[in-house]
Amino acid sequence: MTNDEAYSYESPLTPESWGKLGMWIFLAADAMSFGGLLAGYGALRYVSQNWPDPKTALGINLTAFMTFLLICSSVTMVKGLSAVKRGDMKWGTIHLLLTMGGGIVFLGLQAYEWSHLIHEGMLLTGNPWGSPLFGPTFYITTGFHGLHVTGGVLYLALTVLMLRTGKWGANEVEITGLYWHFVDLIWILVFTFIYLL
């Protein structure tokens, strides 16, 4: 069913599949990308005298719900994997679709939040409240994350299709799960540093 049979040796750290090791290494590198954005944001904010207060400028309540939503989608992801491992393809697919749904709603809420902020004058070039760096650091970091969520939704769609046609199994779903949990994890950090601190 999987490509594992083609190899005569196993991945040293992840005997289940080479793809799993590959995904972990990719995620480690991707974490550095976000780390660069967040460290840059921190450095710029630290030296700025008139940084707007995120609590008042941004919609914390909506974003708190978005955080909760992504956490829920991680739960459905892990339940989906659990179902596929037991051979329950029906519930596996349902949970993966629910995970996708969580991601799509998250993106919709992010789009709504962005349009609201842009309408208030928070742009890449400046904002009504303070340092003109507030906008770019916000949009680029959350936008980069949003792109990852979009990619994740597409990846989940592909996983559902491959699962239905029998080409992928539990190992591949696990790899999809790793990516999705990473997206959730990064959001937890972005939410804390950009919205709350």
Partner 1 sequence: MTEHGTRAHAEHPEPNYMLVFILLAVLTGVEVGIVFLPLAKIFIGLMLVILAFTKAVMVAAYFMHLKFENKTLAIIAFTPIMLCVFLMLMLLPDSDPEAPGRQQPAPPVAAAEH
To the nearest whole angstrom, how small is the minimum distance from the Cβ of residue 99 to partner 1? Answer: 12
What one-character DSSP code corresponds to residue 1?
A: -
The DSSP string of 122-159 is --SS--SSS-TTHHHHHHHHHHHHHHHHHHHHHHHHHH
Q: Which of residues 119-158 bind partner 1 (CB under 8 A)?
A: 119-121, 123, 125-133
Least Å from the CB of residue 21 to partner 1: 8
Taking alpha carbons only, the member of 153, 123, 156, 118 closest to residue 137 is 123
Residues 94-113 touching partner 1, rule: CB under 8 A, are none
Query: Which residue reads 């559902």 in tokens?
Result: 160
Per-residue contact flags (x/-) with partner 1 for residues 51 to 90, judged by CB under 8 A: ----x----xx--x--xx--xx-xx-xxx--x--------
Helix (H, G, I), strand (E, B) or coil at 8: coil
Cβ 192 to partner 1 shortest distance, Å = 4
Which helix (H) or strand (E) segment is 51 a member of? Answer: none
Q: Which of 102, 89, 114 is nearest to 169 (CA)?
A: 89
Q: How many residues bind partner 1 (CB under 8 A)?
A: 73
H or E segment to which residue 129 belongs: none
DSSP state of 3: G
Phi then psi dihedrals of residue 59, to 5 deg: -85, 95
Distance CA 56, CA 95 (A): 36
Q: Are 68 and 165 in contact (CB under 8 A)?
A: no
Q: Which residue lies nearer to partner 1 by CB, 24 or 89?
A: 24
184 lines the binding site for partner 1 (CB under 8 A): yes
Q: Which is nearer to partner 1, 74 or 93 (CB)?
A: 74
Min dist. Cβ of residue 160 to partner 1 (A) = 19
Only one of the segments 100-108, 143-151, 155-163, 169-177 lies at the binding site for partner 1 (rule: CB under 8 A); that segment is 169-177
> Which residue among 145, 155, 182, 194 contacts partner 1 (CB under 8 A)?
182
Least Å distance between CB 163 and partner 1? Answer: 16
Give yes or no for residue 10 binding partner 1 (CB under 8 A): yes
